[in-house]
Amino acid sequence: MKQVPLFINGEWVESTSTRKIDVTNPATQEVIAQVPCASPSEMDAAIESAKATFKTWKEVAISERARVMMRYAHLLKEHQEELANIICEELGKTHEDAMGDVWRGIEVVEHAANIPSMMMGETVENVARNIDTYSYTQPLGVCVGITPFNFPAMIPLWMFPLAVACGNTFILKPSEQDPLCPTRLVELFEEAGAPKGVLQVVHGDKEQVDRLLHEPEVKAISFVGSVGVGQYIYKTGTDNMKRVQAFLGAKNHMVVMPDANKNAVINNIVGASVGAAGQRCMAISVAVFVGEAKEWIPEIREKLAAVRPGHYSDPEAAYGPQITPQAKQRIEGLIEQGKKEGANCVLDGSNFSVEGYPNGNWVGPTMFTDVSADMEIYKQEIFGPVFLTMNVDTLDDAIELINNNPYGNGTSIFTSSGGAARKYQHNIEVGQVGINIPIPVPLPFFSFTGWKGSFAGDQHAYGKQAVKFYTETKTITARWFEDDVAASAGPNMSIT
């Protein structure tokens, strides 16, 4: 059985731990590897190496740190297909979706190659007579990343390239459910010229995360994952005086105005709701139809009914399986609950089967209409291919409904009215807004800015905010005396 190694002080090592977790192919249940829960001494070694390496890495010229990122971006592009194939096997994504997962990460690495201009400080001359003030941004030290299963390339790449480019060292704790893609990402980082000790990889679950949360040498923690775990990490990390950014769950709404382009609405809803098996924190899980727009609901149902999940080797598959049998069971439980609560299940993907893959965690496209805000299917993040529709009379009603939802990751409005779009973007309490764009994930020169229950912290992922998150500002106020300059110029020399 393939054992997933740890990466400590620049060496790939097999863990001595006997506690291991199976990594399975979710389309077949075949165990493809085992991931160890790193032992306390392995955790100590990773922390010690990260701490020691920080002293030398922060002194490396910023342009050399940028060059590592340039080489890394090239290598990732060369290996994009290979990385996507790993994702297909351990997570079940379709090939196209897996390629997108890697590509979104590559874009962040390209952005990290701009680090010299992003780390520039500020200067003001003559804050008082002969006194200047200027600031530098300096790295923090050892930073940590704890990542979820659903984007095993993109999300680790949201974190360590920027943290390391800033001059920090980094400990990555990838999801135990799909650690093989992150392993390959780190091998390529080493190949790109990242010095020994700059990046460590430890594996495990709560026990290993707790070790990092209580370690004084860890200065900052980036987390992406579920609400309960993220809140725990935010609270425990900040209690231990660490900087924490935690990207959490979501419930994303699309508002459909009656003046919207109907074809665009229908085509975009299908991919945005059930695409990637609904395992996207930016998936559109609820559409809110304003007024007459609800008349398009039957056509949307027809389109969704034609969507088929399948194995990644099938180019016709629209999406893959859920990550685990437990995830499938939970989603099917919520579908049952939705029916009991009185929502209208117009498409039921429970007990779905895919020919040739009887053991896959398949859930077919599912759609509920007439959903209300008090139902469990509305309140919970389902994280599956389950699409809900709600009806309201006015745009104001839609805004009120969405603002009352505890999450605030992403939203979109489909309309042909500039006025409606402007009103929506201004009033909606959600951090990422699409106008006739269903999933408005910003490119890396902006930041990934979820709000409310979808985020805990101050500075968001990538963009300028990530550089702020991974650095500290040092402000220097300096005075030089003219007498001293004259003295140092020597007795026979003039300084004028």
3-state secondary structure 306-338: CCCECCCCCCCCCECCCCCHHHHHHHHHHHHHH
Q: Which is nearer to ligand NAD, 235 or 339 (CB)?
A: 235
Task: State residue 435 phi and psi, 5-degree precision.
Answer: -110, 110
Question: CA–CA separation, 321 vs 229, rounded Å?
Answer: 23
CB-based contacts of 386, cutoff 8 Å, min separation 6 = 274, 278, 285, 331, 334, 335, 338, 349, 363, 366, 367, 368, 377
Taking the complex as a whole, the smallest distance from the CB of residue 23 to ligand NAD amounts, in Å, to 12
Q: Which is nearer to ligand NAD, 279 or 389 (CB)?
A: 279
CB-based contacts of 195, cutoff 8 Å, min separation 6 = 10, 53, 56, 57, 60
Taking the complex as a whole, the smallest distance from the CB of residue 2 to ligand NAD amounts, in Å, to 19
- Write down the number of H helices and E strands in the chain: 17, 22
Taking the complex as a whole, the smallest distance from the CB of residue 327 to ligand NAD amounts, in Å, to 8
Classify the phi-psi angles of 237: left when phi > 0, otherwise alpha if psi is within -120 to 50, otherwise beta. alpha
Closest CA to 153 of 108, 204, 197, 206: 108
Bridge partners of 171?
Answer: 144, 200
Q: Which is nearer to ligand NAD, 230 or 338 (CB)?
A: 230
Q: Which is nearer to ligand NAD, 173 or 253 (CB)?
A: 173
Taking the complex as a whole, the smallest distance from the CB of residue 127 to ligand NAD amounts, in Å, to 40
Q: Which is nearer to ligand NAD, 110 or 381 (CB)?
A: 381
Tokens of 109: 């690495």
Alpha helices in 128-253 (DSSP H): 154-165, 180-191, 206-213, 227-239
Q: Which of 143, 166, 281, 345 is catalytic?
A: 281
Task: State residue 302 phi and psi, 5-degree precision.
Answer: -60, -45
Q: Which is nearer to ligand NAD, 421 or 466 (CB)?
A: 466
Q: Which is nearer to ligand NAD, 157 or 266 (CB)?
A: 157
Is 281 known to be catalytic? yes
Taking the complex as a whole, the smallest distance from the CB of residue 139 to ligand NAD amounts, in Å, to 24
Question: CA–CA separation, 387 vs 274, rounded Å?
Answer: 7
Chain residue whose CB lies nearest ligand NAD:
225
CA distance to 87, 278, 380, per residue, from 388 (Å) = 28, 12, 12
Taking the complex as a whole, the smallest distance from the CB of residue 236 to ligand NAD amounts, in Å, to 9
In order, the DSSP letters of 452-489 are ETTEESSS-BSHHHHHHHTEEEEEEEEE--HHHHHHHT
Taking the complex as a whole, the smallest distance from the CB of residue 450 to ligand NAD amounts, in Å, to 5
Sites of contact with ligand NAD (CB under 6 A): 146-151, 173, 175-176, 205-206, 209, 224-226, 229, 232, 247-250, 281, 381, 383, 409, 450, 454
Active site residues: 281
